[in-house]
Amino acid sequence: MIINFLSKVEYLVFFPLNIVYQIAPRHSIIWQIFNFFKIFYKIYIKNYYSFFFSKGKNLILTYDCKVSPPTYGDFFRYLMIAKYYKIKKRNVIFIIIIGEYRGGWKRLKDKNGIISHLKVLTNIYRFVFGNTKNLKLIKWKQFDEYRKKNNFNILFKADTLMRKPTYFLSTFFLNKKIKNEKDAFVNKFIFKKKKINNKKFQKDFKNSKYVTFSVRLYPKPYSQIRNIDYQNFLKSIRIIKKRFLNYKILIISDNNGCSLLKKFSKKKKLDLKFSKNYSKTYIDDGNLILNSHLNIQYTGGGISEFAIFSKVPYLHYTFFYDFAINFFPLNPKKYTWQSNNQYKFFSFSNKVYYDLLNKI
């Protein structure tokens, strides 16, 4: 009854605004302001009562594939909510709802693509928690029966049962939760580097420090908005080489990105290393970042999460701003657990990025 009432209120309040939201260019200031108020409403009004947990009950957190994008960064960050509650001594059951998938994604075009995608999500969960004991992959009908039978606490309950997306609430939610935590808690929350067992890596980087440069070069029909162009790639590399004379530069990218940039690097005689010579998975790429001296990213995608949830120094630049983080675009501190040598900039101009890259 409560959920039906909230659904009607949400429709009446947000339907007129949603027209503006749909018309406004994606990631524009108008789009982001509306996004902020939507997040605020979902956390502090619509789902607020679900934060009052009954003692002794398990906590359920769901990632519904029907309404969530198959993007690893979004999944990673949402999964960190579960890690937060685990450190708080809650028994969190994380449920990936499968069987129905958000449209428009090439990686989900067939059964093999779906199996591969779910395998990556499982591996990310295993990386975060060390095992898959509290992970379930079930269809919606099975989940509905499961939660009715067990009467668990469900985070973001109203949106979960209405099958509305909740993945984009993670940044704002975690910022508010971590804000008042002590250093000891933060140290448990963030990731540490793990030994890299790849023999070729051990040979190529023996006694060598290195800087990672995370790059996205997705082919069409994937969105091109987060791709780096060759001009800014080359300009960044030349500055990094100048600033870090005795460091090797390791490009972090997928197979397509590494392949294209190897050819470009050879043509420009840049002498770079590429992640796909040492890693096969998203997790392995992330561990290369965790072992690096510094991580740099110009636009790009979800591989940035490894640096963001660690103590690795980083400089990340993107030209679309996110009010879900804070209202101060020129403030490089976007996350409450962020260290002083970690920088995240949102700007329509890359001048700030290059100014800092020349000084870092």
Same domain, 174 and 310: no
Kindly list the strands in the beta sheet with 135-139, ordered across the sheet, starting from the edge strand earlier in the chain. 135-139, 92-98, 59-64, 153-154
Tokens 């770079």 belong to which residue? 272
Same domain, 220 and 317: yes
Residue 223 has pLDDT above 80, yes or no: no
| pLDDT tens digit sequence for 28-48 | 667 777 777 778 778 777 776
Same domain, 70 and 29: no
Same domain, 168 and 73: yes
Same domain, 73 and 11: no
The CATH number of residue 56's host domain is 3.40.50
267 close to 183: Cβ distance less than 8 angstroms: no
Question: Bridge-partner residues for 273, per DSSP?
Answer: 250
d(C-alpha 50, C-alpha 62), whole Å: 13
* Res 57: pLDDT: 80
Of the three residues 142, 170, 189, the one that is the final residue of a domain is: 189
254 close to 177: Cβ distance less than 8 angstroms: no
How much of the chain, in percent, has pLDDT values that exceed 70? 85
Same domain, 39 and 64: no
* Res 42: pLDDT: 80
In a domain, 130, yes or no: yes
Domain count, the chain: 3
83 close to 176: Cβ distance less than 8 angstroms: no
Give me the numbers of helices (H) and strands (E) for the chain, helices first please. Answer: 14, 10
Same domain, 32 and 70: no
Q: How confident is the model at residue 305 (pLDDT cuts 50, 70, 90)?
A: very high
Task: Please give the helix or strand (H or E) that residue 61 lies within, else none.
Answer: strand 59-64
* Res 174: pLDDT: 93
Q: What is the mean pLDDT of the chain?
A: 87
Residue 105 has pLDDT above 90, yes or no: no
d(C-alpha 138, C-alpha 130), whole Å: 21
* Res 101: pLDDT: 92
Contacts 24+ apart (CB under 8 A), 269-277: 270/234, 270/237, 270/241, 272/237, 273/204, 273/205, 273/210, 273/248, 273/249, 274/250, 275/250, 275/251, 277/200, 277/201, 277/204
Same domain, 243 and 310: yes
In a domain, 319, yes or no: yes
Same domain, 242 and 303: yes
What is the model's pTM?
0.90
Range of the domain at 174: 49-189
Same domain, 73 and 184: yes
> Dihedrals φ, ψ of 3, to 5°?
-65, -40
Same domain, 330 and 207: yes
d(C-alpha 319, C-alpha 300), whole Å: 10
Same domain, 60 and 130: yes
Choose the weakest-confidence range: 145-149, 184-188, 246-250: 145-149
In a domain, 194, yes or no: no
In a domain, 203, yes or no: yes
